[in-house]
Amino acid sequence: MKKIILVAFVLSAFVLKAQMKVDDVKTFTLTNGMKFLVVEDFSIPNANMYLFYKVGSRNEYQGITGLSHFFEHMMFNGAKKYGPKQFDQTMEFNGGANNAYTTENVTVYTNWFPASAAEVIFDLESDRIASLSIDPEMVESERGVVLSERSTGLENSPWRLLSQSLQATAFQEHPYHWPVIGYEDDMKNWTQQDLERYFKTYYAPNNCVVVVSGALKFEEVKRLAEKYLQPIPAQTAPPKVHIVEPKQTGERRITVQKEVTNPYLMIGYKTPESKHEDYYALNILSSILSRGKSSRLYASLVDNQQLATMVFTDYGDSFDPNLFNFYAVANKNVSSESIEKAIYFEIEKVKNEGISETELQKVKNQKLMEFYNQIETIDGKSNNIGTYEVFFGDYKKMFNAPENYNKVTVTDVQNVAKKYFSKSNRTVGVLKTNVEE
Amino acid sequence: MKILNIKSTVIFCLLAITQISLIAQSYKLPNYTTFKLSNGLTVYLMEQHDVPVISLSAIVAAGAIYDGENPGLASLTAAALMHSTQNFSKAKIDEEIDFIGANINTYASKEFAGLSAKFASKDSDKVLKIFKEIMLNPTFNSEEFDKEKSRLLVELEQKKESPRAVIGSYFDKLIYGNHVYGNVISGTTTSVEKLAVNDVKDFYENNYLPNESAICIVGDFSSKEMKSTITKLFSGWKKRNIVRANVFDATVKVPSKNNVLLVNKDDANETTFYIGSTGISRNNPDFVAISVVNTLFGGRFTSMLNDELRVNSGLTYGASSRFSTLKNAGTFYISTFTAKETTQEAIDKALEVLKSLHQNGIDEKALTSAKNYVKGQFPPDYETTDQLARLLSEMFWYNFDASFINNFENNVNSLDLSKANNIIATYFPKDNLQFVLVGKASEIKPIAEKYGDVTVVEIKD
């Protein structure tokens, strides 16, 4: 439905039909340091606003773990003009909906609304960013909500328990050590002062990037931003996260007990952050290993050998070095040791023999389709632009992505496999019913 | 980026809708054409040229309601379509599709089977050829079937690790009983164990018929060329006159007393529950009005249910309600979860909110808010080629047309307070409620007994 296509993502053989240029994203920065990225798109009478705050669980320390995520919840619980409940009530009355999420790195607020309601949305955001009020009663009931959120995550997926245990083992010093949701005991003990300090430190306009896409003119967005958000004063920049995880010098292994049919396996290799030069090769490697039924791990472990019922890999965006993860669930009567071995066998194959040109081309083709899917919606546009701006330092890097993917050669992919997939650089986690055997 | 924690899980019911009156123009469905091949196959084509992609959604009257004595058969048949065809091995299909970054999925729902695909428009010929092979010339390779089946058996066991993944099937069984709408799409370990590749072949022969099917294509193509391509590819699909049991005829019994199905999960720390009754069919003339009222009751973040169970009391991360609709019947349910220790408090609160809906009705301000909300959230539901292709296939299956979209705003606007309060009395259950509780039976059974006649089953069975 899009009239405007944002990004040049011209991968090798393909030329996109639609005109794409960096100028389709227009930007301005308010005097208080809040940066805006705007995309006009009149295909539907709706618009959205994505606010990326550079705060996540990596900004916490033990004693206040989970506070970033809890704070995300508190941002909906009342400010000066719009009291408790009124943020959501007002937004919904005006036809808008919202959500938010917190990761290790960022906290993102998303508003989806009919373009005609834009002024109300700016007013609501302005109110909570300028003058959030942290009502002790709301803190208590919201504490119950996040405890339920934690519990239901653990209740419904073994991956939650396994991945937080693995993460805690892989990272011994860096704040990626604890889960985004927090430790249960910390969750029960956050104080009013913790919340107030957090708000002042991290919820400053200069710590936020805002993306607006949809049926709104750039000039209108700018006018509203200047009226509602510019008066909010800037704050001193938040303290840097100074902890660097020491180099891992040997394989680490953990076992976790949970009642499951067959064992769950996770392997995490330490890999660099999004801004690193190896990012694109690692990203491509992840697709070659596990994207689609013709991918190496699926074809081998699930289809041919029938050792696993599912297998996937994940190399996400992050500010600090994080993990390249492998996940697999054992088939009936298959031990976690067998799938672990089978995964290493495939990893060694990449390290020793490399990948084929056809596989590399396949991933480049898949990246193009991925890109099309993202630009089909105004939400995909906002999310993409914001992600590049925040994780890669500049939304314009999105325009270099095609070039960066295209530059990757089969040798580069083999080299990153060799560089990062070593025994001493990995943490292995197994979750199963019987942990005594 | 791991999106771990989301503020609101609230599921928007039936449809989520958009847009506030004054300035914005209302959303209209883009033009499309429709025609029938001589074998009875219906085709819908809608051009959308903004992004060079095409989405396709095919729908065949071959869902779980036709399972007969073999629960899981429709679903396994749909999966087996991709195992091999006259001209392609499974590996070849996987390779070709992956190489161009396309995807093709097959599935069975309660009523119909479906094939959906998305691909770059330049790959249209290649994908359509594979798509046709999968749909018309599957050869049901027995080795692949065995692999699929054994994987499915393990997955069925694994699903029982998550209350959320299984509660819906228990609830449908409780409401629909022996009616075909109670059929469990994925089947059970016992039923799937018995299935052989010949069952799948027979099911395909007897149920994949062009005269009860539609193919809906949306995206960057020329309708004229696409019409001729589809006609060439699918005219050879033979029309057959197979008399099938009229599974739709049976009526769904409305419950006459409270029942509680308690699903025991020994290691549960939470109680996950549904409370509800029979609901409405998709063609109910009050469909839009009901969805507006349900938005207020349990269909958005500030809904009565979420406000009481989450915002006011912190008992849960989210509480919602939904009318789930099929061609000839439907269910209504409240859905939430809470810590084991607060089971009774949460159930009581949910019942109080339902009671209050009946006793106090809704007021003008709330109704206006819900109307604005459903209108405001409507257009983004029909933004992508896949959303539009799915819409067209639903139009075919449930027999509605573009007026659903084009008159949506008017229909919402015309709902007044007295009608809204009538909707509550007519469609929202008041008594004879049906409960499914998934949790630790040894601790919550005494609580369950307060709400009706209790039957206990084991999640592992």
Is B22 in Cβ contact with A96 (below 8 Å)? no
**Rounded to the nearest 10 degrees, what angle do helices B417-427 and B343-360 cross at?**
130
Strand B42-47 relative to strand B214-219, pairing:
parallel
Evaluated on CA atoms B9, B12, B17, B20, the torsion sign reads negative
A294–B98 CB contact, under 8 Å: yes
Cβ A69–B5 below 8 Å, yes or no?
yes
Residues on chain A touching B119 (C-beta within 8 angstroms): 369
Tell me what ipTM this predicted complex has: 0.91
Write down the pLDDT at residue A9.
33
Ordered strands of the B103-108 beta sheet:
B33-36, B42-47, B214-219, B53-60, B113-120, B103-108
The string of pLDDT tens digits covering residues B210-255 is 999 999 999 999 999 999 999 999 999 998 888 887 887 778 999 9
Which residues of chain A does B51 touch, with a Cβ-Cβ cutoff of 8 Å?
Answer: 2, 5, 18, 372, 375-376
Q: Do A369 and B122 touch (CB under 8 A)?
A: no
3-state secondary structure at position B319: coil
pLDDT per residue as tens, chain B (461 positions): 333 333 433 333 333 333 333 334 578 999 999 999 999 999 999 999 988 999 999 999 999 999 999 999 999 999 999 999 999 999 999 999 999 999 999 999 999 999 999 999 999 999 999 999 999 999 999 999 999 999 999 999 999 999 999 999 999 999 999 999 999 999 999 999 999 999 999 999 999 999 999 999 999 999 999 999 999 999 999 988 888 878 877 789 999 999 999 999 999 999 999 999 999 999 999 999 999 999 999 999 999 999 999 999 999 999 999 999 999 999 999 999 999 999 999 999 999 999 999 999 999 999 999 999 999 999 999 999 999 999 999 999 999 999 999 999 999 999 999 999 999 999 999 999 999 999 999 999 999 999 999 999 999 98
Across the interface, of A154, A291, A369, the residue whose CB is closest to B102 is A369
Q: In a 3-state reduction of DSSP, which class is residue B187?
A: coil
B314 has a chain A CB within 8 A of its CB: yes
CB contacts of A103 in chain B (<8 Å) are: 1-4
Q: Which residues of B touch A316 (CB under 8 A)?
A: 1-2
**B224 interfacial to chain A (CB closer than 8 Å):** no
Does residue A12 have a pLDDT over 70? no
- Domains belonging to chain A, first-starting first, are 31-228 (3.30.830.10), 252-432 (3.30.830.10)
Test A101 with B3 for CB contact under 8 angstroms. Answer: yes
Any alpha helices (H) in A75-135, and if so which ranges? 86-93, 118-131
Q: Summarize pLDDT for B134-185 with one digit per residue, the tens.
A: 999 999 999 999 999 999 999 999 999 999 999 999 999 999 999 999 999 9
Percentage of chain A surpassing pLDDT 70?
A: 95
- Name residue A221's amino acid: V
pTM for this model (two decimals): 0.92
pLDDT value at residue A21: 64
Domains of chain B: 33-234 (3.30.830.10), 259-458 (3.30.830.10)
Check: CB of residue B105 under 8 Å from CB of residue B115: yes
Cβ of B161 within 8 Å of Cβ of A259? The answer is yes
Distance between CA atoms of residues B453 and A358, nearest Å: 62
Beta strand spans in B230-325 (E): 259-264, 270-278, 320-325
Nearest CA in chain A to B25: A45
